[in-house]
């Protein structure tokens, strides 16, 4: 079963463009993780994004925590509060 991470990030007001650029510049760190299938970033509020990561297993998703924490610590000045990340077992569908 796949591992799926969901992270909700509350941003400082008017920082969406900076956050988007930052995520683009750091995406290689995440896509190179062991067991990473892919990830998506959705704008889920005026100052909120939700990041969904898809991994080969929940174990891979949990093992990614150190890298994810480093990226978020480098992004701390753009966030209104600490990110809320959870890891779940699930199924990933694609064409």
pTM exceeds cut of 0.85? yes
CA 21 vs CA 24, 48, 89: distances in Å: 5, 15, 30
Position 95 in a domain: no
Side-chain-side CA neighbours of 45 within 13 Å: the count stands at 11
Q: What is the reported pLDDT for 94? A: 85
Residue 95 has pLDDT above 90, yes or no: no
% of the chain residues with pLDDT over 70 = 100
Into how many domains does the chain fold?
Answer: 1
The residue-averaged pLDDT of 9-15 equals 97
For the segment 27-54, the average pLDDT, to the nearest whole number, is: 95
Q: What region, left, alpha or beta, does residue 14 occupy, with left being phi > 0 and alpha being psi -120 to 50 degrees?
A: left
77 exposure class (CB count in 10 Å sphere: 0-12, 13-18, 19+): exposed
Domain presence at residue 31: yes
Q: Domain for residue 94, yes or no?
A: no
Residue 7 lies in a domain: yes
Range of the domain at 83: 2-89
């Amino acid at each position: 079963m796949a591992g799926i991470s969901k992270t909700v990030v509350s941003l400082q007001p008017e920082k969406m463009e900076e956050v988007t650029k930052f995520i683009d510049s750091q995406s290689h760190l995440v896509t190179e993780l062991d067991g990473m299938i892919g990830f998506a970033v959705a704008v889920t509020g005026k100052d909120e994004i939700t990041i969904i990561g898809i991994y080969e297993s929940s174990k891979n998703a949990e093992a990614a925590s150190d890298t994810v924490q480093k990226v978020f610590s480098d992004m701390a000045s753009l966030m209104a509060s600490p990110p809320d990340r959870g890891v779940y077992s699930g199924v990933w569908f694609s064409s």
